[in-house]
């Protein structure tokens, strides 16, 4: 896996990103901004399901307004994160903390999809059922965990 990561690092476009500080910095700004939008919108919907935020709006309306922003930001974060990853892929691939981060993100995405797909059913009820609140709580915790895991890569592994 380490060899595969080093192979990626030798592509000319990856080396260009890596050696051009303004380009790498621009990609990083896009990545962090889209993470903010993505996680912020996911958390907002989770908080609405939990009855903490936007309680005056129907849950379906909140989902309809938020999810297009969330998924647009998600794909931009994936793309920009991939570009950042490629510049040090040989170091990131074998790193346990990086793998934990990616696993937590995958789980957070799965739980966000479960919440999103369940909102139409929950909207027909007077209030979200206990199962909805459990799903939203897990999604919320996973998104927070993904941020913490991402921050800890540098602290624990010295990468980033």
The answer on pLDDT for 107 being more than 90 is yes
140: left (phi over 0), alpha (psi -120 to 50) or beta: alpha
Sequence-distant (≥ 6) Cβ neighbours of residue 55 within 8 angstroms: 48
| pLDDT of amino acid 130 | 87
Smallest Cα–Cα separation from 143: which of 61, 56, 64, 44?
44
Cα distances (angstroms) measured from residue 92 to each of 14, 98, 139: 15, 6, 25
- pTM for the model stands at 0.83
> Are the CB atoms for 32 and 101 separated by under 8 Å?
no
Token couple for 33: 């901004």
What is the structure's pLDDT at 154? 64
Is pLDDT of 12 > 80?
yes
Q: Where are the domains of the chain?
A: 2-157
Please write the tens of the pLDDT for every residue from 59-77: 888 888 899 999 999 999 9
């Amino acid at each position: 896996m380490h060899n595969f990561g080093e192979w990626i690092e030798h592509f000319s476009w990856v080396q260009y990103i890596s050696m051009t500080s303004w380009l790498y910095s621009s990609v990083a700004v896009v990545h962090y901004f889209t993470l903010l939008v993505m996680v912020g919108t996911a958390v907002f919907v989770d908080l609405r399901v939990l009855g903490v935020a936007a309680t005056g709006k129907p849950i379906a309306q909140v989902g309809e307004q938020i999810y297009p922003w969330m998924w647009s930001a998600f794909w931009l974060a994936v793309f920009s994160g991939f570009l950042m990853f490629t510049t040090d892929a040989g170091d990131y691939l074998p790193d346990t903390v990086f793998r934990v981060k990616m696993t937590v993100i995958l789980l957070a995405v799965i739980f966000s999809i479960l919440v999103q797909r369940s909102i139409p059913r929950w909207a027909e009820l007077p209030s979200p059922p206990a199962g909805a609140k459990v799903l939203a709580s897990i999604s919320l915790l996973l998104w927070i965990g993904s941020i913490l895991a991402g921050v800890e890569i540098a602290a624990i592994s010295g990468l980033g």
